[in-house]
């Protein structure tokens, strides 16, 4: 059962407001509480439960070291997503979704490398050797690439998951993720189809206050996952250091052991010492003692 305090905070943020009843998707029926003034009201207890479920999964993905790509191109979500994704150190898309972003990832990486090569040109002075017109063209290309792909410049491989605000608007991103079997987490309003999403969070995806509330919870979960990963790394490093110290101590102990002498006389003496000693019998000892007395 969801915590009443958590449900109240979602209520205060307006997460419960859905779309007009005539715009609803029948597949959202399990998450709708009631209808009021021609608007569907979302069941916040189910929202809280689904949010907790999604956060647990996101935490595990972040702890595994995989990236989570945040996607939101609608005006009221852009700034919130870029802020929260930056806090969680995750890539994000807030401009137009580049077609083939996932399914044609090699080409996207090529464009990111092009951006990096322009930066190198500016650093090594090659940029200054170009004509004024060429410099202007390169600057425009760099600005365009930065606008569309700047936030994913550190994403060297496909993301471990997608978090989407408004799946109806970002339907291309949904289709590409489905094709590559990438888990999809999303804020799903009453006009969307939750069956397409692996971890749907029924919520108002139009109000900035509602988006900020959900994204805050999600980014906290991702940050926790990253902290767990960091703690695990530190622990493994400590274990490695302890094993190394133990190995060094063992090696030093072995060095302290007596090293056999290389001197010929010492070797001969050692050989003689190792020869088996013949023990005398009682009669032989007594006989020997009698002879010595005489």
Calpha distance 225→213 (Å, rounded): 19
In degrees to the nearest 10, what's the CA dihedral of 228, 232, 237, 238?
A: 100
The dihedrals phi and psi of 34, each to the nearest 5 degrees, come to -165, 180
Among 155, 162, 157, 154, smallest CA distance to 58 is for 162
DSSP state string for 52-76 = HHHHHHHHHHHHTT--EEEE--SHH
User: What's the pLDDT score for residue 198?
Assistant: 94
Q: Give the pLDDT band of residue 230 (cuts 50, 70, 90).
A: confident
Average pLDDT over residues 80-109: 89
Neighbours of 288 (CB within 10 A): 10
What's CA 210's distance to the chain center, in Å?
25
User: What's the pLDDT score for residue 156?
Assistant: 82
User: What's the pLDDT score for residue 146?
Assistant: 81
CA angle centred on 102, ends 98 and 105, rounded to 5°? 90
Highest average pLDDT, of 85-99, 179-193, 273-287, comes from 179-193
Token pair of 274 as six digits: 């190792």
User: What's the pLDDT score for residue 232?
Assistant: 78
**Order of all β-strands in the sheet with 161-165:** 92-93, 68-71, 161-165, 184-188, 199-202
Residue 257 scores a pLDDT above 70:
no
User: What's the pLDDT score for residue 58?
Assistant: 94
User: What's the pLDDT score for residue 250?
Assistant: 73
Q: Give the pLDDT band of residue 254 (cuts 50, 70, 90).
A: low
User: What's the pLDDT score for residue 48?
Assistant: 93
User: What's the pLDDT score for residue 201?
Assistant: 94
The dihedrals phi and psi of 164, each to the nearest 5 degrees, come to -115, 140
As to burial, measured by CB atoms within 10 angstroms (0-12 exposed, 13-18 middle, 19+ buried), residue 265 is exposed
User: What's the pLDDT score for residue 119?
Assistant: 83
User: What's the pLDDT score for residue 147?
Assistant: 79
Q: What is the pLDDT of residues 137-185, one digit of tens each?
A: 988 988 888 877 777 877 888 999 999 999 999 999 999 999 999 999 9
Calpha distance 17→204 (Å, rounded): 6
pTM: 0.75
The mean pLDDT value of the chain amounts to 84
Average pLDDT over residues 55-76: 92
Token pair of 196 as six digits: 């397409």
User: What's the pLDDT score for residue 219?
Assistant: 93
Q: What is the pLDDT of residues 25-39, one digit of tens each?
A: 999 999 999 898 899
């Amino acid at each position: 059962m969801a915590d009443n305090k958590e449900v109240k905070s979602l209520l205060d943020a307006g997460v419960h407001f859905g779309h007009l009843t005539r715009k609803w998707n029948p597949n959202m029926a399990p998450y709708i509480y009631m209808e009021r003034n021609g608007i569907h009201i979302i069941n916040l207890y189910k929202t809280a439960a689904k949010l907790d479920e999604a956060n647990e999964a996101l935490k595990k993905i972040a702890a595994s070291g995989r990236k989570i790509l945040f996607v939101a191109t609608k005006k009221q979500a852009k700034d919130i997503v870029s802020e929260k994704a930056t806090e969680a150190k995750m890539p994000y898309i807030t401009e137009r979704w580049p077609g083939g972003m996932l399914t044609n990832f090699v080409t996207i990486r090529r464009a990111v490398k092009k951006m990096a090569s322009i930066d190198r040109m500016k650093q090594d002075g090659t940029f200054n050797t170009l004509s004024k017109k060429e410099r202007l063209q390169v600057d425009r290309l760099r600005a365009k690439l930065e606008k569309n792909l700047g936030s994913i410049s550190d994403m060297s491989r496909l993301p471990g998951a997608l978090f989407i605000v408004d799946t109806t608007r970002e339907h291309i991103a949904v289709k590409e993720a489905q094709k590559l079997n990438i888990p999809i987490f999303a804020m799903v309003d009453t006009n969307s189809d939750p069956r397409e999403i692996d971890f749907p969070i029924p919520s108002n995806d139009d109000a900035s206050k509602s988006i900020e509330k959900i994204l805050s919870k999600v980014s906290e979960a991702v940050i926790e996952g990253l902290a767990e990963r960091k703690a695990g790394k530190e622990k493994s490093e400590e274990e490695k250091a302890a094993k190394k110290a133990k190995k060094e101590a063992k090696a030093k102990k072995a060095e302290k052991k007596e090293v056999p002498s290389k001197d010929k006389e010492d070797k001969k003496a050692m050989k003689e010492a190792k020869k088996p000693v013949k023990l005398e019998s009682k009669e032989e000892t007594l006989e020997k003692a009698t002879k010595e007395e005489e």
